[in-house]
């Protein structure tokens, strides 16, 4: 693909973050604004769809304005608008897609609908515009481990925009397992960051939690692990013992990291890839990052910390590669709440 200079405005509203960003050439982040709704949803212990879409409506125009201002640009300076089309909550996706339509209509520039999962993978290409030496881009063929709140899958990429799903979770996504286990052991939503924090003072070997292997496939499973934690919690509660929250968090986290790392490395060897990408909300996890970064078999690309969880720079990045491929969507573009990547 011929990668020419271009600036893309990205918009993301698939779940509980309203975000906008300007990215140059698919990699250099000129601005990134994320209005999070975490506090609004925390009292429900998860995302409340109706509340989410209403909040997106309240904030989206201010967020877009702020992203353009931070990039010192007007709408006339961007080459295309990329927006998350799915997967995600229908009522939330519609807000971003409609805002994007309004913008391209006024300027007559391309509208590009982006798959949120593709966005997460593209976040591994991002770096801050003020970085003195841009990090090397991932090389093809590459293996992408996508670990978020809604998805956990392994994709083989032979080139830009080419995804072949090798396997995925058969039950809970890794982030979902973090969120559910956090609730089980009394830690606040979102579970990933809470478990990471509690695990820092715990013993990862205190409990021997199972690692699902699903040999002969590239699939994952986390529901057995979640049930194992539940069983220990029930046993301890029966005897009125205080929950060793830190040890439970550390042992659970170690089991998730071990399962993800072992299978990804096996696939990387099998498919003889040139690099490994780890992306999605769970790639913010310190233990997971350290485990991948401490091996030397494959170059590993993990997004900058604040670009692991939902953001719009990743959507602008994916939008750039589609723009370079000449893709463009019509103005009657509809959202796809269950859109698979491959």
Based on CB atoms, which residue is closest to Zn ion, 55 or 148?
A: 148
Beta-bridged to residue 161, according to DSSP, are none
User: Is omega for the bond preceding 147 within 30 degrees of 0, making it cis?
Assistant: no
Strand-strand pairing, 80-86 and 111-115: parallel
Taking CB under 6 A as the binding criterion, the range among 29-37, 73-81, 143-151, 213-221 that sits at the site for ligand KG4 is 143-151
Task: Please tell me whether residue 282 binds ligand KG4 under the rule CB under 6 A.
Answer: yes
Whole-Å CA distances, 31 to 124, 141, 260, 322:
16, 29, 32, 20
Out of 149, 202, 204, 303, point to the residue binding ligand KG4 (CB under 6 A): 149
Based on CB atoms, which residue is closest to ligand KG4, 37 or 285?
A: 285
Give one word for 45, left, alpha or beta, with left for phi > 0 and alpha for psi -120 to 50.
Answer: left
Instruction: Quote the least distance from Cβ 111 to ligand KG4, whole Å.
Output: 22
Task: Please tell me whether residue 148 binds Zn ion under the rule CB under 5 A.
Answer: yes
Task: Please tell me whether residue 86 binds ligand KG4 under the rule CB under 6 A.
Answer: no
Which two tokens mark 115? 């798959």
Taking CB under 6 A as the binding criterion, the range among 34-42, 43-51, 205-213, 281-289 that sits at the site for ligand KG4 is 281-289
Q: How far apart are CA 99 and CA 97, in angstroms?
A: 5
Taking CB under 5 A as the binding criterion, the range among 141-149, 164-172, 282-290, 312-320 that sits at the site for Zn ion is 141-149
Q: How far apart are CA 240 and CA 247, in angstroms?
A: 17
Q: How far apart are CA 218 and CA 263, in angstroms?
A: 7
Out of 96, 175, 303, 319, point to the residue binding ligand KG4 (CB under 6 A): 175
Out of 196, 221, 246, 251, point to the residue binding ligand KG4 (CB under 6 A): 196
| Sheet containing 142-147, strands listed edge to edge, beginning at the edge strand earlier in sequence | 162-168, 152-159, 142-147, 275-279, 300-301
Task: Please tell me whether residue 47 binds ligand KG4 under the rule CB under 6 A.
Answer: no
Taking CB under 6 A as the binding criterion, the range among 5-13, 126-134, 186-194, 323-331 that sits at the site for ligand KG4 is 186-194
Taking CB under 5 A as the binding criterion, the range among 28-36, 143-151, 172-180, 285-293 that sits at the site for Zn ion is 143-151
Q: How far apart are CA 311 and CA 291, in angstroms?
A: 24
How many residues of this chain interact with ligand KG4, rule: CB under 6 A?
Answer: 20
Structural element, H or E, at residue 51: helix 49-70
Task: Please tell me whether residue 204 binds ligand KG4 under the rule CB under 6 A.
Answer: no
Residues 6+ positions from 111 with CB-CB distance below 8 Å: 80, 81, 83, 100, 101, 104, 328, 329, 330, 331, 333
Instruction: Quote the least distance from Cβ 311 to Zn ion, whole Å.
Output: 9
Q: How far apart are CA 103 and CA 240, in angstroms?
A: 59
Task: Please tell me whether residue 178 binds ligand KG4 under the rule CB under 6 A.
Answer: yes
Total residue count of the chain as it appears in this document:
342
Residues 6+ positions from 186 with CB-CB distance below 8 Å: 243, 245
* First CA to last CA distance, the chain: 20
Residue 231 backbone dihedrals phi, psi, to 5 degrees: -60, -45
Task: Please tell me whether residue 304 binds ligand KG4 under the rule CB under 6 A.
Answer: no
Based on CB atoms, which residue is closest to ligand KG4, 15 or 30?
A: 15
175 binds, among Zn ion, ligand KG4, none (CB under 5 to 8 A by kind): ligand KG4
Residues 297-316 as x/- pattern, contact with Zn ion by CB under 5 A: -------------x------
Based on CB atoms, which residue is closest to ligand KG4, 91 or 280?
A: 280
Out of 309, 315, 318, 323, point to the residue binding ligand KG4 (CB under 6 A): 309
Task: Please tell me whether residue 281 binds ligand KG4 under the rule CB under 6 A.
Answer: yes
Instruction: Kindly list the residues in this chain that would bind Zn ion in the complex (CB under 5 A).
Output: 148, 310
Q: Footprint of ligand KG4 on this chain (CB under 6 A)?
A: 15, 148-150, 175-176, 178-179, 190-193, 196, 280-282, 284-285, 309-310
């Amino acid at each position: 693909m011929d990668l020419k200079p271009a600036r893309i405005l990205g918009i993301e509203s698939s779940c509980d973050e309203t975000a906008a960003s300007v990215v140059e050439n698919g990699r250099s982040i000129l601005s990134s604004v994320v209005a999070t709704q975490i506090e609004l949803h925390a009292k429900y212990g998860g995302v409340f769809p109706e509340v989410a879409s209403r909040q997106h409506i309240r904030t989206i125009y201010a967020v877009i304005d702020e992203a353009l201002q931070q990039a010192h640009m007007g709408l006339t300076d961007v080459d295309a608008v990329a927006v998350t089309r799915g997967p995600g909550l229908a009522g939330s996706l519609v807000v971003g897609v409609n805002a994007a339509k309004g913008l391209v209509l006024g300027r007559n520039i391309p509208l590009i609908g982006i798959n949120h999962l593709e966005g997460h993978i593209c976040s591994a290409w991002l770096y801050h515009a003020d970085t003195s030496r841009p990090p090397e881009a991932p090389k093809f063929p590459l293996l992408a481990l996508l670990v978020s709140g809604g998805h956990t899958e392994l994709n083989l990429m032979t080139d830009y925009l080419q995804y072949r799903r090798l396997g995925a979770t058969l039950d809970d996504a890794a982030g979902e397992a973090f969120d559910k286990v956090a609730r089980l052991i009394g830690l606040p939503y979102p579970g990933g960051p809470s478990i990471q924090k509690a695990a820092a003072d715990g013993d990862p070997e205190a409990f021997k939690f199972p690692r699902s292997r699903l040999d002969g496939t590239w699939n994952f499973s986390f529901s057995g692990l979640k049930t194992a934690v539940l069983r220990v919690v029930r046993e301890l509660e029966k005897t009125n013992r205080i929950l060793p929250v830190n040890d439970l968090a550390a042992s659970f986290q170690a089991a998730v990291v071990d399962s993800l790392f072992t299978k990804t490395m096996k696939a990387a060897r099998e498919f003889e890839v040139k690099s490994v990408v780890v992306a999605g909300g769970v790639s913010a996890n310190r233990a997971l990052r350290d485990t991948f970064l401490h091996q030397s078999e494959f170059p590993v690309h993990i997004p900058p910390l604040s670009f692991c969880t939902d953001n719009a720079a990743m959507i602008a990045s994916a939008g750039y590669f589609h723009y370079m491929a000449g893709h463009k969507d019509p103005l009657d573009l509809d959202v796809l709440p269950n859109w698979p990547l491959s």
